[in-house]
Structure 1
């Protein structure tokens, strides 16, 4: 989570320096490909990325890259703590997808959590009188929605694919998609901007490996709780670099959104004792793989 918060902090700095979202996404994704290949080659595990489901990986990468664009857009347009908090809405959207798309039964606990979470969104988005960029708030909520959708795709892929294969093919296809936009949105940069782009790719790749390890060795509930610590680091970065401190409405809304996510996660764990698409674990894993 420290690595993820660092990546979004660097993305915000890059955006302020005039680097486009398309460039940030490309270097975030593109740098991971040779690093992963090099590590697998050095450890004799190149076969781990073999797959017969390239089409599924490409579809997941298309959806995930859209989510990454939303995440980076929110980071560049909003205070880091606010953009991070809006990303925690993924479990809420996952419940809505479960109920209205998959037509599965959703009980009163999860519906209450969804209501609580969206009341938290309303609390932080407006009433303090401090105008928040509407497109930034939309990007943050869009990231939550896309991450919820991606969590279902990851759940499907995980039945046959290794975690490192999901990470690699997401980065590979995501870099290809972003490359098509470079001729339009790319521009010349100085040394500082290139260092920022390199650091974004490195931080995102480190986060991928750490989350993969967490999901391999840690208990579901532990990994879920750790995801919310991103807000601590995002708040510290926002205060130290930009002088942003959470507003009164953030202090009200953020706990509501986090509490809603934890209720959904604990309820899913209680009901099925397996990783659920409505679980914040999927959000944590997906956000990491996205650079999420």
Structure 2
């Protein structure tokens, strides 16, 4: 899980670099296309052609639409936001998954977990504090949209995993992101510079490794034990911000991130206790 978080942080740093030169949809398409060959090879190696079979087209298409919007929104935000700030806002995703599981999956969430979700939202409001240019930036709203898309995508995976293989879920999502975002980016497509080839390759390799590592982490580990390690992304975000852009998060960003992380950790603890209390 730690390896997955580090890989995704490197990928996001590459996406941030590319977002300066190319439109958001084009960068999203390049991200999907760059990882696709590696994920395709892994899928064939681990499960063969049969593992790529689709049984629920409608949910795959829904994930594809969500994935395109999520990736493009996040890339758009990275153009102006530091990685650490974007990650801090994105940490609302685990809380959103819990909240959305009630209406979409029929799961029960007790008052303590709702309280944790509410506290997490307070942390988001701290991060979206009034600035000189007004309350809430478009980039911050784009991260919130990406986090909501991630939560919806995670919930669809819970349903899809009952009938489709993890290879199918991963491969076809990348196909749809590469193709769907590419179609949307085509009218404003910017010729790819040779100098950016290395960054695109890095995004592809880091994205594929991260996806493989996180899949293995949840396969062999207990979700409630390894999920908190996702918050180490903030450490990577700060380090990459300093190393590549010379940016440090301010005090209010640290405060908002701390509120969201603490509420998320409490929520994970409550879910572990709730799972332990349920009969097998």
TM over 0.5: yes
CA distance in 2, matches of 1:210, 1:7: 14
Q: What is the match of residue 271 of structure 1?
A: 274
Please give the secondary structure, in 1, of the residue aligned with 2:54: coil
Q: What is the match of residue 73 of structure 1?
A: 76
Mapped pair 1:219 → 2:222:
yes
Identify the match of residue 12 of structure 2 among 8, 11, 18: 8
Q: What is the match of residue 163 of structure 1?
A: 166
Please give the secondary structure, in 1, of the residue aligned with 2:149: helix
Mapped pair 1:32 → 2:35:
yes
Cα RMSD over matched residues?
2.3
- Conserved 8 A contact 1:19-1:193: no
Task: Count residues with an aligned counterpart.
Answer: 273
- Conserved 8 A contact 2:35-2:203: no
TM-score, normalisation: structure 2: 0.89
For the structure 1 residues 36 and 97, does the alpha-carbon distance in structure 2 shift closer, same or farther, using more than 3 Å as the test? Answer: closer
CA distance in 2, matches of 1:266, 1:165: 31
Q: What is the match of residue 238 of structure 1?
A: 241
Q: Deviations over 1:104-133 (max 9, x none)?
A: 543221121122111111212215769787
Q: Deviations over 1:201-230 (max 9, x none)?
A: 221111111111111122212320211111
- Conserved 8 A contact 1:24-1:197: no
Q: Which runs of 5+ in 1 are unaligned?
A: 275-292
Q: Which runs of 5+ in 2 are unaligned?
A: none
Offset at residue 147 of structure 1 (A): 1.4
Mapped pair 1:172 → 2:175:
yes
Offset at residue 198 of structure 1 (A): 2.4
Offset at residue 22 of structure 1 (A): 1.3
Q: What is the match of residue 202 of structure 2?
A: 199
Offset at residue 246 of structure 1 (A): 1.2
Q: Deviations over 1:55-92 (max 9, x none)?
A: 32121111122111222222222111010111111122
- Conserved 8 A contact 2:52-2:167: yes
CA distance in 2, matches of 1:35, 1:143: 24
CA distance in 2, matches of 1:163, 1:177: 21
